[in-house]
Amino acid sequence: MNYIYDILLNFTNPKKFYDFFEWELNDTIVNIKKIPVFKISKEMMWDLLHYKLKLDEKFLKKIANVAIIYKQNKNKFKNLAVMSDGAKSIGISINNSGIIDYKSAMLLDEEEEATFIADKMPIENISYKKLEKYEKDEFSTRKEEEEKEFLKKEINFLYKEKEFEKLKYLYIEYFDKKEDCVEIIYKNLLESLNNMDNRHEKIYKLLKLACKR
């Protein structure tokens, strides 16, 4: 078995995969002393990034309690591995049922090291089952998530408080056209949040400036 030593993984959110430059101080950062590295096929890497996977029991037994973690989070994360297709590497945590419950990007230099190690390895044949496909917004950036949540709350607040003139103003700013029906305005603004773009950032900044709550 091949290993990489002294790396950091971010297991903050089971539904999100944050790039290293989006990590924050309060995240669940796991400091790992030793963790096994496996080379997987490009097909499996694609599935790993786009689906929730359940891995074969044989693989789970192979990595159970192999990784060594520095003090914190020692009892929470027991089945850990780094998976690489020779081009990209990510860290995973697997629960006792074989389901990958957390995934993590790696720091740039650590990913390069893991990828270098895996590049010289044969592909590990791991049987797995695709449980569900991740929604598109699960690959949005952390900044987009925060803006989307803020806009959703503000639009709902303005509608609830009957501040319709402000809603109409936001509608013009986003859609660049006038609409008098409040129900259409409310519905269309909320639906627009399904596909965040730079116009949302514009109204986000406007609301942030005006928001006193």
Distance, in Å, from the CA atom of 118 to the CA atom of 87, rounded to the nearest integer, reads: 9
Nearest Cα residue to 13 out of 97, 134, 131: 134
Contacts of 199 (CB under 8 A, 6+ apart): 173, 174
**Structure tokens belonging to residue 182:** 């409040």
Residue with structure tokens 């990510």?
Answer: 90
Residue 167 amino acid letter: L
Q: Which of 190, 63, 51 is nearest to 203 (CA)?
A: 190
Q: Give the whole-angstrom CA distance, residue 64 versus residue 95.
A: 10
Q: What does the pLDDT profile of the chain (213 residues) look like in tens digits?
A: 999 999 999 999 887 788 888 898 889 999 999 999 999 999 999 999 989 999 999 999 999 989 999 876 556 788 999 999 999 999 999 999 999 999 999 999 999 999 999 998 999 999 999 998 877 555 567 777 888 888 999 999 999 999 999 999 999 999 999 999 999 999 999 999 888 888 988 888 888 877 654
Query: Full-prediction pTM beyond 0.75?
Result: no
Rounded to 5 degrees, φ, ψ at 50 are -115, -10
